[in-house]
Amino acid sequence: MPLTTAPDTRPTSSMSAAILDLLLPYHRTTDPSPAAAEAFAHQLRRIAGFVRAGEPVVFTLPGFPCKSPNPAKVLGHLPDQGERLSLGFLNTLCEEIERVHPPGARVIICSDGHVFGDLIRVPDDHIDAYADGLRRLIRESDLHRLSVFDLRDVLGDLPHDAKRAQVCRRYAPTLEALRAEVRSEDHTLALYRGITRFLVDDTADFTGTRSALQRACRTRAYGVIQRSRAWGDLIAEHHPGSVRLSIHPQPIGAPKFGIRLLDAADVWTTPWHSAAVHRTDGTWTLMPRTRAEQLGRLVRRDGRPSHYEQG
Protein backbone atom coordinates (compact mmCIF):
# COMPACT_ATOMS: atom_id res chain seq x y z
CA MET A 1 0.00 0.00 0.00
CA PRO A 2 1.47 3.43 -0.93
CA LEU A 3 2.66 5.58 1.94
CA THR A 4 0.40 8.50 2.86
CA THR A 5 2.32 11.61 1.95
CA ALA A 6 1.56 15.10 0.79
CA PRO A 7 1.59 15.51 -2.99
CA ASP A 8 5.09 16.18 -4.28
CA THR A 9 5.10 19.34 -6.34
CA ARG A 10 8.68 19.06 -7.60
CA PRO A 11 9.16 19.29 -11.40
CA THR A 12 9.45 16.01 -13.28
CA SER A 13 13.19 16.47 -13.81
CA SER A 14 13.83 17.05 -10.11
CA MET A 15 11.70 14.07 -9.12
CA SER A 16 13.46 11.84 -11.66
CA ALA A 17 16.86 12.88 -10.32
CA ALA A 18 15.71 12.20 -6.75
CA ILE A 19 14.69 8.68 -7.76
CA LEU A 20 17.97 8.04 -9.54
CA ASP A 21 19.88 9.36 -6.51
CA LEU A 22 18.52 6.38 -4.57
CA LEU A 23 20.19 3.99 -7.04
CA LEU A 24 23.56 5.74 -7.28
CA PRO A 25 25.07 4.31 -4.06
CA TYR A 26 24.67 0.84 -5.62
CA HIS A 27 25.95 1.70 -9.10
CA ARG A 28 28.11 -1.15 -10.40
CA THR A 29 30.75 0.32 -12.66
CA THR A 30 34.41 0.08 -13.52
CA ASP A 31 34.68 3.89 -13.71
CA PRO A 32 36.98 5.13 -10.94
CA SER A 33 34.92 8.16 -9.85
CA PRO A 34 31.23 8.45 -8.95
CA ALA A 35 28.93 10.70 -10.93
CA ALA A 36 25.82 12.74 -10.18
CA ALA A 37 22.37 11.85 -11.46
CA GLU A 38 22.72 14.37 -14.30
CA ALA A 39 25.33 12.11 -15.93
CA PHE A 40 22.69 9.42 -16.57
CA ALA A 41 20.56 11.07 -19.23
CA HIS A 42 19.16 7.81 -20.61
CA GLN A 43 17.88 6.63 -17.24
CA LEU A 44 16.49 10.06 -16.35
CA ARG A 45 14.44 10.13 -19.57
CA ARG A 46 12.97 6.69 -18.87
CA ILE A 47 12.18 7.52 -15.23
CA ALA A 48 10.61 10.84 -16.26
CA GLY A 49 8.14 9.00 -18.48
CA PHE A 50 6.76 7.14 -15.45
CA VAL A 51 6.82 10.25 -13.25
CA ARG A 52 4.82 12.30 -15.77
CA ALA A 53 2.28 9.49 -16.09
CA GLY A 54 1.97 9.14 -12.32
CA GLU A 55 2.83 5.43 -12.61
CA PRO A 56 5.23 3.09 -10.78
CA VAL A 57 8.73 3.19 -12.27
CA VAL A 58 9.36 -0.16 -13.98
CA PHE A 59 12.88 -1.58 -13.89
CA THR A 60 13.89 -4.68 -15.85
CA LEU A 61 16.88 -6.67 -14.58
CA PRO A 62 18.21 -9.51 -16.74
CA GLY A 63 20.00 -11.99 -14.51
CA PHE A 64 19.27 -14.58 -11.81
CA PRO A 65 19.71 -17.30 -14.49
CA CYS A 66 20.62 -20.36 -12.40
CA LYS A 67 23.34 -21.45 -10.02
CA SER A 68 26.85 -22.04 -11.33
CA PRO A 69 27.43 -25.70 -12.24
CA ASN A 70 30.72 -25.63 -10.30
CA PRO A 71 30.18 -27.00 -6.76
CA ALA A 72 33.33 -25.22 -5.59
CA LYS A 73 31.48 -21.92 -6.02
CA VAL A 74 27.91 -22.55 -4.85
CA LEU A 75 25.87 -24.56 -2.34
CA GLY A 76 23.57 -26.24 -4.85
CA HIS A 77 21.31 -25.54 -7.81
CA LEU A 78 18.48 -23.78 -5.92
CA PRO A 79 18.26 -20.18 -4.64
CA ASP A 80 19.70 -19.65 -1.17
CA GLN A 81 20.51 -16.78 1.18
CA GLY A 82 22.38 -14.89 -1.54
CA GLU A 83 19.24 -14.68 -3.66
CA ARG A 84 17.05 -14.06 -0.61
CA LEU A 85 19.14 -11.04 0.40
CA SER A 86 19.37 -9.73 -3.16
CA LEU A 87 15.64 -9.91 -3.74
CA GLY A 88 15.05 -8.24 -0.40
CA PHE A 89 17.44 -5.45 -1.38
CA LEU A 90 15.60 -4.84 -4.66
CA ASN A 91 12.22 -4.76 -2.93
CA THR A 92 13.54 -2.34 -0.30
CA LEU A 93 14.91 -0.11 -3.06
CA CYS A 94 11.40 0.04 -4.50
CA GLU A 95 10.06 0.97 -1.07
CA GLU A 96 12.58 3.81 -0.84
CA ILE A 97 11.50 5.08 -4.26
CA GLU A 98 7.92 5.03 -3.00
CA ARG A 99 8.88 7.58 -0.33
CA VAL A 100 9.94 9.98 -3.09
CA HIS A 101 7.46 8.95 -5.80
CA PRO A 102 4.23 7.65 -4.15
CA PRO A 103 3.25 5.35 -7.07
CA GLY A 104 6.45 3.49 -6.22
CA ALA A 105 8.48 1.16 -8.41
CA ARG A 106 8.57 -2.44 -9.63
CA VAL A 107 11.49 -4.65 -10.61
CA ILE A 108 10.93 -7.40 -13.17
CA ILE A 109 13.58 -10.10 -12.72
CA CYS A 110 14.21 -11.32 -16.27
CA SER A 111 15.61 -14.76 -15.48
CA ASP A 112 17.74 -15.66 -18.48
CA GLY A 113 19.02 -19.16 -17.69
CA HIS A 114 17.12 -20.90 -20.48
CA VAL A 115 18.46 -18.42 -23.03
CA PHE A 116 21.97 -19.90 -22.80
CA GLY A 117 21.61 -22.96 -20.57
CA ASP A 118 23.29 -25.25 -23.12
CA LEU A 119 26.29 -22.91 -23.39
CA ILE A 120 26.83 -22.70 -19.63
CA ARG A 121 26.28 -26.46 -19.23
CA VAL A 122 23.33 -26.28 -16.82
CA PRO A 123 20.39 -28.73 -17.24
CA ASP A 124 17.10 -27.08 -18.15
CA ASP A 125 15.30 -28.76 -15.27
CA HIS A 126 17.76 -27.11 -12.85
CA ILE A 127 17.03 -23.75 -14.50
CA ASP A 128 13.28 -24.28 -14.11
CA ALA A 129 13.74 -25.23 -10.46
CA TYR A 130 15.86 -22.14 -9.83
CA ALA A 131 13.34 -19.72 -11.40
CA ASP A 132 10.48 -21.42 -9.56
CA GLY A 133 12.51 -21.05 -6.37
CA LEU A 134 12.83 -17.30 -7.01
CA ARG A 135 9.08 -17.00 -7.42
CA ARG A 136 8.58 -18.93 -4.18
CA LEU A 137 10.97 -16.65 -2.29
CA ILE A 138 9.15 -13.58 -3.61
CA ARG A 139 5.79 -15.00 -2.59
CA GLU A 140 6.82 -16.28 0.84
CA SER A 141 8.66 -13.05 1.74
CA ASP A 142 5.83 -10.85 0.42
CA LEU A 143 8.15 -9.00 -1.94
CA HIS A 144 5.18 -7.80 -3.95
CA ARG A 145 7.15 -5.14 -5.83
CA LEU A 146 9.09 -7.90 -7.62
CA SER A 147 8.16 -10.41 -10.31
CA VAL A 148 9.96 -13.00 -12.46
CA PHE A 149 9.83 -13.12 -16.26
CA ASP A 150 11.43 -15.96 -18.25
CA LEU A 151 11.16 -17.74 -21.59
CA ARG A 152 8.17 -19.73 -20.36
CA ASP A 153 6.24 -16.45 -20.24
CA VAL A 154 7.11 -15.81 -23.90
CA LEU A 155 7.14 -19.21 -25.63
CA GLY A 156 5.20 -21.42 -23.24
CA ASP A 157 5.86 -25.14 -23.35
CA LEU A 158 7.98 -25.31 -26.51
CA PRO A 159 11.10 -27.50 -26.09
CA HIS A 160 13.94 -25.49 -24.62
CA ASP A 161 16.20 -25.91 -27.67
CA ALA A 162 13.39 -24.65 -29.90
CA LYS A 163 12.91 -21.62 -27.66
CA ARG A 164 16.60 -20.77 -27.80
CA ALA A 165 16.73 -21.15 -31.57
CA GLN A 166 13.67 -18.97 -32.07
CA VAL A 167 15.03 -16.17 -29.87
CA CYS A 168 18.41 -16.27 -31.63
CA ARG A 169 16.89 -16.19 -35.11
CA ARG A 170 14.79 -13.17 -34.30
CA TYR A 171 17.02 -11.06 -32.07
CA ALA A 172 20.69 -12.12 -31.91
CA PRO A 173 23.44 -10.10 -33.66
CA THR A 174 25.66 -11.94 -36.10
CA LEU A 175 28.89 -13.47 -34.87
CA GLU A 176 30.84 -11.34 -37.34
CA ALA A 177 29.32 -8.11 -36.00
CA LEU A 178 30.01 -9.15 -32.43
CA ARG A 179 33.63 -10.05 -33.14
CA ALA A 180 34.14 -6.65 -34.75
CA GLU A 181 32.63 -4.95 -31.69
CA VAL A 182 34.92 -6.86 -29.32
CA ARG A 183 37.89 -5.67 -31.38
CA SER A 184 36.78 -2.04 -31.44
CA GLU A 185 35.02 -1.34 -28.12
CA ASP A 186 36.75 -1.61 -24.75
CA HIS A 187 33.51 -2.21 -22.83
CA THR A 188 32.50 -5.16 -25.04
CA LEU A 189 36.02 -6.55 -24.83
CA ALA A 190 35.87 -6.39 -21.02
CA LEU A 191 32.49 -8.14 -21.06
CA TYR A 192 33.82 -10.84 -23.37
CA ARG A 193 36.83 -11.44 -21.15
CA GLY A 194 34.70 -11.47 -18.01
CA ILE A 195 32.28 -14.03 -19.41
CA THR A 196 35.15 -16.17 -20.70
CA ARG A 197 36.65 -16.15 -17.21
CA PHE A 198 33.34 -17.16 -15.67
CA LEU A 199 32.90 -20.02 -18.13
CA VAL A 200 36.39 -21.31 -17.31
CA ASP A 201 35.77 -20.99 -13.57
CA ASP A 202 32.36 -22.65 -13.82
CA THR A 203 33.75 -25.73 -15.56
CA ALA A 204 34.27 -28.50 -13.01
CA ASP A 205 34.67 -31.65 -15.13
CA PHE A 206 36.80 -30.75 -18.16
CA THR A 207 39.35 -33.48 -18.92
CA GLY A 208 41.48 -31.65 -21.49
CA THR A 209 44.26 -29.11 -21.10
CA ARG A 210 43.79 -25.66 -19.60
CA SER A 211 44.52 -24.02 -22.96
CA ALA A 212 41.92 -26.21 -24.68
CA LEU A 213 39.36 -25.24 -22.04
CA GLN A 214 40.13 -21.56 -22.54
CA ARG A 215 39.72 -21.85 -26.32
CA ALA A 216 36.37 -23.59 -25.90
CA CYS A 217 35.19 -20.98 -23.39
CA ARG A 218 36.20 -18.11 -25.67
CA THR A 219 33.98 -19.58 -28.38
CA ARG A 220 31.12 -20.12 -25.94
CA ALA A 221 31.51 -16.57 -24.60
CA TYR A 222 30.57 -15.15 -27.99
CA GLY A 223 27.44 -17.29 -27.95
CA VAL A 224 26.55 -16.12 -24.44
CA ILE A 225 26.88 -12.47 -25.47
CA GLN A 226 24.87 -13.03 -28.66
CA ARG A 227 22.03 -14.59 -26.73
CA SER A 228 22.25 -12.05 -23.94
CA ARG A 229 21.82 -9.28 -26.53
CA ALA A 230 18.89 -11.20 -28.01
CA TRP A 231 17.30 -11.52 -24.57
CA GLY A 232 17.76 -7.79 -24.00
CA ASP A 233 15.95 -6.95 -27.23
CA LEU A 234 13.15 -9.37 -26.37
CA ILE A 235 12.79 -7.72 -22.94
CA ALA A 236 12.64 -4.27 -24.54
CA GLU A 237 9.88 -5.50 -26.84
CA HIS A 238 7.82 -7.00 -24.01
CA HIS A 239 8.51 -4.22 -21.47
CA PRO A 240 8.83 -1.03 -23.55
CA GLY A 241 9.86 2.09 -21.69
CA SER A 242 11.30 0.23 -18.71
CA VAL A 243 14.53 1.35 -17.04
CA ARG A 244 17.14 -1.26 -17.87
CA LEU A 245 19.33 -2.47 -15.02
CA SER A 246 22.32 -4.79 -15.38
CA ILE A 247 24.25 -7.04 -13.01
CA HIS A 248 27.40 -6.32 -15.08
CA PRO A 249 29.52 -3.19 -14.52
CA GLN A 250 28.41 -0.38 -16.84
CA PRO A 251 30.13 2.88 -17.81
CA ILE A 252 28.64 6.11 -16.51
CA GLY A 253 25.94 7.28 -18.92
CA ALA A 254 25.45 3.89 -20.61
CA PRO A 255 21.91 2.82 -21.63
CA LYS A 256 22.06 0.14 -18.93
CA PHE A 257 22.57 0.96 -15.27
CA GLY A 258 24.82 -1.53 -13.51
CA ILE A 259 23.57 -2.37 -10.03
CA ARG A 260 25.34 -4.09 -7.14
CA LEU A 261 23.09 -6.52 -5.30
CA LEU A 262 25.41 -7.49 -2.44
CA ASP A 263 28.90 -6.68 -1.24
CA ALA A 264 31.71 -8.69 -2.84
CA ALA A 265 35.43 -8.25 -3.46
CA ASP A 266 34.98 -8.59 -7.24
CA VAL A 267 32.52 -6.35 -9.15
CA TRP A 268 31.58 -9.36 -11.31
CA THR A 269 30.49 -11.58 -8.37
CA THR A 270 26.80 -12.47 -8.17
CA PRO A 271 24.71 -14.61 -5.78
CA TRP A 272 24.41 -17.34 -8.39
CA HIS A 273 28.21 -17.68 -8.72
CA SER A 274 28.96 -17.73 -5.00
CA ALA A 275 27.82 -18.35 -1.43
CA ALA A 276 26.67 -15.76 1.10
CA VAL A 277 28.73 -15.21 4.24
CA HIS A 278 27.39 -13.50 7.38
CA ARG A 279 30.32 -11.63 8.88
CA THR A 280 30.93 -11.22 12.58
CA ASP A 281 30.12 -7.49 12.29
CA GLY A 282 26.62 -8.32 11.00
CA THR A 283 27.24 -7.49 7.33
CA TRP A 284 26.97 -9.88 4.40
CA THR A 285 29.32 -10.62 1.52
CA LEU A 286 29.65 -13.09 -1.35
CA MET A 287 32.53 -15.43 -2.12
CA PRO A 288 33.18 -18.90 -3.59
CA ARG A 289 31.87 -21.73 -1.42
CA THR A 290 35.31 -23.28 -0.90
CA ARG A 291 36.61 -20.02 0.55
CA ALA A 292 33.45 -19.40 2.59
CA GLU A 293 33.65 -22.77 4.31
CA GLN A 294 37.14 -21.89 5.57
CA LEU A 295 35.75 -18.83 7.34
CA GLY A 296 32.77 -20.25 9.19
CA ARG A 297 30.10 -22.86 9.69
CA LEU A 298 27.40 -23.89 7.24
CA VAL A 299 23.87 -22.78 8.11
CA ARG A 300 20.86 -24.70 6.82
CA ARG A 301 17.40 -23.34 6.20
CA ASP A 302 14.35 -25.50 5.44
CA GLY A 303 16.64 -28.51 5.35
CA ARG A 304 18.95 -27.11 2.66
CA PRO A 305 22.32 -25.33 2.77
CA SER A 306 21.68 -21.59 2.99
CA HIS A 307 24.86 -19.65 3.83
CA TYR A 308 27.93 -19.49 6.07
CA GLU A 309 28.22 -17.84 9.48
CA GLN A 310 31.68 -16.44 10.08
CA GLY A 311 33.29 -17.85 13.22
Residue 1 pLDDT: 43
Q: Are 138 and 84 in contact (CB under 8 A)?
A: no
Residue 132 pLDDT: 96
Ranges of residues in the chain with a pLDDT under 50 are 1-7
Residue 3 pLDDT: 46
Residue 206 pLDDT: 79
Rg, the chain, Cα only: 20
226: in domain: yes
122: in domain: yes
Start-to-end CA span in the chain (Å): 40
Residue 8 pLDDT: 55
Q: Kindly provide the residue ranges of all beta strands, DSSP E only, lying in 81-220, ordered along the sequence.
A: 105-111, 146-149
Domain count, the chain: 1
228: in domain: yes
Residue 300 pLDDT: 97
112: in domain: yes
127: in domain: yes
At 149, which amino acid appears? F
The angle at the Cα of 247, spanning 243 to 250, to the nearest 5 degrees, equals 75
Helix count and strand count (H, E) for the chain? 10, 9
6: in domain: no
Q: Are 255 and 42 in contact (CB under 8 A)?
A: yes
Sign of CA dihedral 74, 134, 128, 299: positive
Which helix (H) or strand (E) covers residue 230, if one does?
Answer: helix 210-238
Domain housing 93: 12-24+36-310
Q: What is the pTM of this model?
A: 0.90
Q: How far is CA 155 from CA 134, 161, 205, 214, in A?
A: 20, 11, 32, 33
Instruction: Give the neighbor-by-neighbor strand order of the sheet with 296-301.
Output: 284-287, 275-278, 304-310, 296-301
5: in domain: no
177: in domain: yes
